[in-house]
Each structure stands twice: as C-alpha cells, then as structure tokens.
Amino acid sequence: MSLDYEEYLIWERSRNSPFSKLKKYIKWYHYLMIILFLAFIYYLLEYQKVDAKVLVSFEGIILVIIIARILSAPTQKVIPENVIKIIAKRALERKIGNGGEFPQGTQIEPLAYCRLRYMGEWGSDYVPWKWEVGFKVIYPNGLKKDIVVIMHVYEGYITGIKEVPEGYTGQQSKDLKVLIPSQIVQKESPATNLQQG
C-alpha cells in the first residue's frame, strides 16, 4: 500500500471520528473553562451546601453542551495534494456506470496538473479557495477528454467538473480570486435630468 493511500485512509477515518475532532479542536481555553467550571462546582458543594444531585445534573448538561460545541466546529485543515488526488479519482470512478455520468468501461487517468487556488478581499489575507485536479477520461469507444475536477479544499467533495483542452497547464486560470470591495455610485438617469431642466 502506498504512503499516499495510507494518508488518504487516515484522512477518511479522522473526518468521521468524533474523538479525533475533539482532540483537534480542543484549545487551551477549553481546558481552562473546564477547570474553572469544576472549581465552581466544588465551591458550591463545599461552601454553599447545594444539593449534589441537582449540581451533578447541571454539570453534566453543561459538559455535554461544551463538548457538542467543540465537535460542531468546522474543519479548517486543507487536504494535502496527494490525498485530494485520490479523493478526486475515487469520486470520478463512482460516476462510472449504473446511470452515472460516464458509461461502463470508462477509464479515469490522473494528469500531472493539480493546483490549489486562493481567494480573498483586496488588502486582506488570502485563503484557500478550491483544489483543481486534472484527469484524462477515456471512454469505451476510444474518445479521450481532459477534465479538471474542482474540489472543496477542506471537505473533499466535488464542486464542479470542467472540460479543458489537451495539455491544459492551468495558466489560463488565475491562481488568485481577488474580491474588490464594491463601491456604490449613484447616477442620475437621463430622464431625471430632462424633467428637472
């Protein structure tokens, strides 16, 4: 088994494991919150003589809410290039036959082209926008097409497929999508000017 495939399997397991997600997203301030919370509970039990059963129920509810909040945090780790290529190839292979987008017998071959694109507002930090992964689709009748599969950078699902010319290098696409802050300009229509004049 190749190292790339092993990394893919690790990625696949980790995205479905709540414990790995908890481990990934729990920060130092979460630990601090839990310690302060437990200290508060101890204070109430020791000095305020609060009923222990009520307090344990309350504590359990709060801990469940904290853990659920941590687990619901979105994944923000960019999928590595070697893993995104495997994910994209498997996603395309699932589209072969059985009423899919490609007829039975279609072959999917990876191309050298693979690029991470960035986007951001002008004057601010740029963030990963999409993965573009190149493939050659060979149909059962011998027809060949080069395509680029556009993948979500964090979750690894297909957001688009586009056909490209043979030998596509990506130079035709921009590496960066810059969002320029929009300006609102009010213009008077010619009809308004005529009515005033």
Mean pLDDT for 3-12 is 65
User: In the chain, where are the structural domains located?
Assistant: 3-71, 81-179
* Contact present, 126 and 155 (Cβ < 8 Å): no
Mean pLDDT for 160-174 is 80
Nearest partner of 153 among 75, 86, 79, 92, judged by Cα: 79
Residue 29: pLDDT band with limits 50, 70, 90: confident
- Cα(80)–Cα(72) distance, rounded to whole angstroms? 22
* Contact present, 146 and 120 (Cβ < 8 Å): no
pLDDT of residue 190: 46
According to DSSP, the residues that pair with 127 across neighbouring strands are: 119
- Cα(157)–Cα(88) distance, rounded to whole angstroms? 8
pTM, 2 dp: 0.57
Q: What is the mean pLDDT of the chain?
A: 76
pLDDT of residue 134: 93
- Cα(61)–Cα(71) distance, rounded to whole angstroms? 15
The residue with greater pLDDT, 196 or 122, is 122
- Cα(129)–Cα(127) distance, rounded to whole angstroms? 6
pLDDT of residue 191: 44
- Cα(21)–Cα(40) distance, rounded to whole angstroms? 27
Q: H/E element holding 72?
A: none
Residue 157: pLDDT band with limits 50, 70, 90: confident
pLDDT at 195 over 60: no
Helix (H, G, I), strand (E, B) or coil at 117: strand
pLDDT of residue 110: 92
* Amino acid identity at 33: M
What percent of the chain shows pLDDT beyond 70?
Answer: 63
